[in-house]
Structure 1
Amino acid sequence: MASIAIPAQTTDKTHWEWQYLDLMRRIWEHGDERIDRTGIGTRSVLGAQIRFDLSGGAVPLVTTKRVYWKTAVREFLWFLTGETNIRPLVLQGVKIWNEWPHAGYVKATGEAISLEDFASRIADDEAFALKWGDLGPVYGKQWIDWPTYQPAGEGLYRKGPGINQVAQVVDSLRTNPGSRRHIVEGWNVAELDRMALPPCHKTYQFHVGSGRLNCALYQRSCDVALGLPFNLLGAALFTRMLAQQCDLEPGELVWLGGDTHLYLNHADLVEEQLSRPPAGEAVMTINRRPDSMFDYRIEDFEVSGYAPQAAISAPVAV
């Protein structure tokens, strides 16, 4: 297996981010090299864990490269609307989902349109966005409107009322905090084929102990270089918002990775990031308590103490 030169780290390892960097190093140096769905190839391990204490407003923002935290928050708030079309994100300047509908459009039409021009058409033409900007029943649809079906005669069924899993978890945390069923699930087997990308951060389970709200996130597939920094922040944000709505203090975030991988074309990113020691601690403040989980706005969130090193760009595998 080909390798790259990565200097050994001797810096004090009390900073939480060493868990992330050590995982990156382990995958790159010892992961199994595989051909994946995208055809690019990965180095992969099965089973990984990162733990982070959310007390005192702390949030797991990676410091060895810049993470655009407002983009992550905007994406998470979009999930909570149940929306599946990229247009609301595009209008906010969020580009992280554009590649999938763009690839679908090019494949279906044969038009050699650039990603940037495609996003501009999504923003400018609502009818075009309606036809070409939908991702299928991805995260938000499953979280907020999980489909149900009811009998409608012999052998027939009709669509029933959707299940709002997030609202159910808020209610169960308030009324039955000791339950082991505080779960939000995205892996709807019956609808996977209709999704642009089946859910990676698929299962959130919440746990109440000593007045603190803890979260375990199981991620079935994880792009450590590009996806995991966003996933950690999203899970922390989810936990903080739920804690505020349920009169609890944020506790511990436990992230669990299934197929945890680095893409082979991310060698430059890996080498650069592993040469940088982490420093500093980010703190998130929520400026108000809205009436529900579904009423937060981007301006409700502030992050202080975040002084990351420079951004590192790398291609997204579609």
Structure 2
Amino acid sequence: MANLEQPYLDLLRKIMNQGHDKDDRTQTGTRSIFGAQMRFNLSKGFPLLTTKKVPFGLIKSELLWFLHGDTNIRFLLEHNNHIWDEWAFKNWVESSEYQGPDMTDFGLRSQKDPEFNQIYQEELKKFDQQILDNDEFANKYGELGNVYGAQWRHWEKRDGDFIDQIKNVIDQIKQTPYSRRLIVTAWNPEDVPTAALPPCHVLFQFYVNDGKLSLQLYQRSGDMFLGVPFNIASYSLLLNLVARECNLEVGEFIHTLGDAHIYSNHFNQVKELLSRNPYDAPQLWLNPDKNKIADFEMKDIKVKNYQHHGTIKAPVAV
């Protein structure tokens, strides 16, 4: 057993102590550094944060959503996952069909105005229920466009055909494990202007050595307190699933970030997190009867011996 989250805690401290205070798209403000890297040895455990509770169910449902090639939030809502709600909701309230209360800048306003936040939460709850109950509404307003699921599994070609990058990279790992081209990319300049959220996880690359599979992610933008703990666990899970299908052991997950930032309204939460002592990392359990990614369901993926501190809540910047 081992403390696997130390690289993450060290990077948080570095940003708090040495980062640059900057304005940002959400108008919240950040403290950031440019260019950072964390390394996690997955043979020693699974790097799910223990200094705060991280809901693993949300991580695995989101990753399965990506791997299914899905880009509609209905699957997520069916698994009580609200990670992507705000971006779909934004499309709804900015449409001509929306006739409810004014939701302009709902992300910032909900943080500063408790009365408005109550109205916002009620509208968001109604929106989610319509996605679940109404097929036509879900098809129109639950759709996020060419986000990760589409780019990974259904990259559109100029000739009208498509590329399944996940299938291709798994085939390449099996056939040419020495290749330096074991890459999946999500960044398509043509799609950036119309995507609900341009990909933060720009590309990832696999590497095989001594029967072990490693993965490096390049992330252009990382919300260090809320998002990055999910990203660490999600890509570590992805690495485990691909290793299972390719009959390899797991090696390292290497997380490289461009703009690694802490939002200014997360500073107190970060200080609280850094005051806590981490526990040993949990262990990942994958159903031993399944070998192909396509066969895995929620019940086939679990973490064991997950000891953790309590939840620390913080607002999402949209």
1:149 maps onto 2:158 in alignment: yes
Q: Indicate the residue corresponding to 1:88 in structure 2.
A: 75
8 Å CA contact 2:244–2:292 kept in 1: the answer is no
- The residue number in structure 2 matching 1:8 is none
**Is contact 1:244-1:289 (8 Å) kept?**
no
What do residues 165-208 of structure 1 show as CA deviations (whole Å, max 9, x unaligned)?
00001100000000001111100111111210011112110000
Tell me the equivalent position of 1:37.
25
Could you say which structure has the higher helix fraction? Answer: 2
1:27-57, CA deviations, whole angstroms, 9 ceiling, x for partnerless residues? 122211111111111111001111111115x
Number of matched pairs: 295
**Within 2, Cα distance between the matches of 1:289 and 1:180?**
31
Say whether residues 1:219 and 2:211 are aligned partners. no
Helix, strand or coil for the counterpart of 2:179?
coil
Equivalent in the alignment of 1:10: none
1:187 maps to: 187
Q: Following TM superposition, by how much is the alpha carbon of 1:93 offset from its aligned partner in structure 2, in angstroms?
A: 0.5
Q: What residue in structure 1 maps to residue 296 of structure 2?
A: 296
Equivalent in 17, 22, 34 of residue 10 of structure 2: 22
Q: TM-score, length-normalised on structure 2?
A: 0.90
1:242–1:293 CA contact under 8 A, matched in 2: yes
> Pairwise mapping of residues 144-183 of structure 1 onto structure 2 (< 5 A)?
144-150=153-159, 159=160, 161-183=161-183
Same amino acid, percent of matched pairs: 42
Q: Distance in 1 between matches of 2:91 and 2:315?
A: 18
Alpha carbons 1:42, 1:261 under 8 Å: kept: yes
Specify the code of the residue in structure 2 equivalent to 1:65.
K
- Paired with 1:41 and 1:47, the residues of 2 have a C-alpha distance of 19
CA–CA separation in structure 2 for the residues paired with 1:19 and 1:253: 12
Deviates more, 1:165-174 or 1:104-113: 104-113
1:262 and 2:258 matched: no
Q: Is the 8 A contact 1:213 1:251 kept in 2?
A: yes
2:317 alignment counterpart: 317
Distance 1:230 1:254 in 2: 14
Give 1:155's aligned residue.
none
For residues 290 and 166 of structure 1, the distance between their equivalents in structure 2, rounded to whole angstroms, comes to 18
Q: Residue 206 of structure 1: SS of its match in structure 2?
A: strand
Comparing 47-56 with 291-300, greater Cα deviation is found at 291-300
Q: Which amino acid aligns with 1:44?
A: S
2:125 corresponds in structure 1 to 116
Q: Secondary structure at the match of 2:153?
A: helix
Deviations 1:111-150 (A, max 9, x none): 2362222112211222111111111110010000000122
Distance 1:291 1:61, change over 3 A: closer
AA aligned opposite 1:111 = G
Report the more deviating stretch, 135-144 or 22-31.
Answer: 22-31
Which letter does structure 2 place at the counterpart of 1:95? Answer: H
Q: Distance in 2 between matches of 1:32 and 1:25?
A: 13
- SS of residue paired to 1:189: coil
**Which consecutive unaligned segments of at least 5 residues does structure 2 have?**
102-119
C-alpha change, 1:191 and 1:171, in structure 2 (3 Å) is: same
By how many angstroms is 1:263 displaced? 0.5
- Does residue 140 of structure 2 align to residue 131 of structure 1? yes
